[in-house]
Amino acid sequence: MLESLVQEAPYGILAIENANEILIANEQATQLLKLDNREQMLIGKSVFECFDHIQSLKAKLKDSLKHNNSSFDLDAFLFDDRFLNIRGRQVDEGYIVTIEDITRDKEMEMVALNSMLEAQELERRRIAKEIHDGVGPNLSIIKLMFEAINTETSWELSPKANSKMKDVFELIDSVASDIRSISHQLMPKVLLDFGIIPATENMINQINRTEKIKIIFFHSVVSGRYAELIELGIYRICQELINNAVKHSGAKEVQVQIIEHSSSIILMVEDNGKGFNKQDIMNENPGVGLINIESRTNALGGNFILDTSTTKGVSVTVEIPLEK
């Protein structure tokens, strides 16, 4: 009965004795982890020998067994094009590892994230168009009307009134400039027309002109254009990371790299600022910016790696797979 229950379980099960030898392995476990498909051949073998092809799981298990069979979890672990939830738990005189295939759930989550991000971008595009086509021209008309009043007035304005009128013109120019900037950030036209590299260069040039921080940009892109969602995703992630560096890092320099590989595109953003305690931030208050970056990366099926400490600045690597 026990053997039947183990074999019919809807997830993989591995039972490991204290000697680190496999005691039980059901068919689900052997299939999901690409182990020897003859389960009986695994019985009595060292679990570490069996996991040579999955080094990250092997290291996790070895560390757990070394520390009095402490529990471990590997959530959404990507292996052989499938996402797995792997749990390790201590039992009497041994260890139990369960393996659950969550690929379909992950795919549905990515579809939902993509739909949400598409809706956000459509709304950004709509607002940007309203600002560009409506508010911007109306401000220009207001300025022209004030100028006409100023030139057509039959009486001489006092020096104080002239000064106020000048202040009004400057304020209108400032608001118009802010609106153009907001419209550009919402949906940069250069991104839609020319792609990720010109758009990123344009964004960085604008920041270098207005901020004290120095941003250096490198790229090795051959294809030129990618799918619109990929370009928008990389641009938004880069925008968020640079914004974080400018506002919070205290850095003097930021390096941005966009590198194309045969099957993926990589964005790297590094600063020489004060950094932060990664564990505290991720566990207690990850912040909207980091959550947005991780959500966008997940929606594009990519990997997000954050490397930082309170002494060495921040380094972020985002790798997005390209459609073949």
260-278 pLDDT per residue, tens: 988 899 999 999 888 777 6
Contact yes or no for 227/238 (Cβ under 8 A): no
Percentage, residues of the chain above pLDDT 70: 86
DSSP string, 115-131: HHHHHHHHHHHHHHHHI
pLDDT, tens only, 6-27: 888 888 888 888 767 888 888 8
Please list the helix, strand and coil fractions of the chain in percent, rounded to the nearest 5, in that order: 55, 25, 25
Band of the pLDDT at 92, cuts 50, 70, 90?
confident
Find the mean pLDDT for residues 55-71: 77
When the pLDDT of each residue in the chain is averaged and rounded to a whole number, the result is 80
| pLDDT attached to residue 222 | 67
State how far the alpha carbon of 9 is from the alpha carbons of 6, 15, 84, 182, in Å.
Answer: 5, 14, 16, 55
Distance CA 51, CA 108 (A): 29
pLDDT higher than 70, residue 314: yes
| pLDDT attached to residue 278 | 65
Any idea of the CA torsion for 140, 141, 146, 147, to the nearest 10 degrees? 70
| pLDDT attached to residue 281 | 58
What is the pTM (predicted TM-score) of this model? Answer: 0.57
Any idea of the CA torsion for 256, 259, 264, 269, to the nearest 10 degrees? -10
Find the mean pLDDT for residues 216-232: 84
| pLDDT attached to residue 38 | 54
| pLDDT attached to residue 287 | 55
Find the mean pLDDT for residues 165-183: 77
Contact yes or no for 176/216 (Cβ under 8 A): no
- For residues 36-73, one letter each, b for 16 or more C-beta atoms within 10 angstroms of the residue's C-beta and e for the rest, the string is eeebeebeeeebeebbeebeebbebbeebbeeebeebe
State how far the alpha carbon of 307 is from the alpha carbons of 82, 172, 282, 291, in Å.
Answer: 25, 44, 12, 15
Note the helical H segments in 153-250.
159-186, 189-194, 196-210, 228-244
State how far the alpha carbon of 175 is from the alpha carbons of 132, 172, 205, in Å.
Answer: 13, 5, 21
Find the mean pLDDT for residues 289-304: 82
Sequence-distant contacts of 48-54: CB under 8 A, at least 24 apart: 48/20, 50/22, 54/79
| pLDDT attached to residue 286 | 54
Tokens of 4: 């039947």
pLDDT higher than 60, residue 282: no
CA 171 to chain centre: 37
| pLDDT attached to residue 148 | 73
Q: Which span out of 103-112, 122-131, 302-311 was modeled with the highest average pLDDT?
A: 302-311
Band of the pLDDT at 122, cuts 50, 70, 90?
confident
